[in-house]
Amino acid sequence: MAATGTYEDRLNLPIAAGEQWASKWDFREVIEEELIDYARIDLCIAGGLTEALKITHSAETHYINIVPHNPLGPVSAAACAALCMASTNVGVLEMPRRPGSYATELFPQQIEWADGYSWCPDTPGLGVEFDIDAAENAAVDPHGWPPRLRRNDGALTNW
């Protein structure tokens, strides 16, 4: 991680890192040495809300904001929104698709989102419902999992 510090010393740009890191231990050095400006926590990789809150609180003590990495769908979006609502050091929430605009056949109830804002559901849970009957009837492509994604230049990328 020492290399990150050399970039920060030479660039007048905020540095964000962490979307592939799996625990508070992966974030520890860059937070304690204040090598980043934004902690990019991926709740689905880091172990869920509990571990993400630990990382968030650690970052807060060093005035580092979080920007949750949210690439996976309605449940991830709801969990990331819940993390942001429980935190004081939020930079922004990555929201690649507006909740309620996709996967509605499998997730008929998703978090509420309007004009760039979300709010806490007034019911237990994250505010997402899963339709198991729709999932049982959904077509599955056995060759499509795990997805093999490629960038425009043909290079493999993760999902």
Spell out the per-residue pLDDT of the chain, length 159, in tens.
555 566 667 778 999 999 999 999 999 999 999 999 999 999 999 999 999 999 999 999 999 999 999 988 899 999 999 999 999 999 999 998 888 888 899 999 999 988 888 888 888 999 999 999 998 887 766 666 566 667 788 776 665
Contact present, 43 and 19 (Cβ < 8 Å)? no
* Close Cβ partners of 10 (under 8 Å, ≥ 6 residues apart): none
- What is d(CA 112, CA 109) in angstroms, rounded to the nearest whole number? 9
Residue showing tokens 């949210």: 70
Distance (Å, rounded) from C-alpha 57 to C-alpha 35? 16
User: pTM here?
Assistant: 0.83
Domains parsed from the chain with CATH numbers: 2-157 (3.20.20.120)
Can you give the pLDDT at residue 52?
97
CB atoms inside a 10 Å sphere around CB 124: 6
Rg of the chain, C-alpha, whole Å: 18
Residues 6+ apart with CB under 8 A from 126: 75, 78, 79, 82, 111
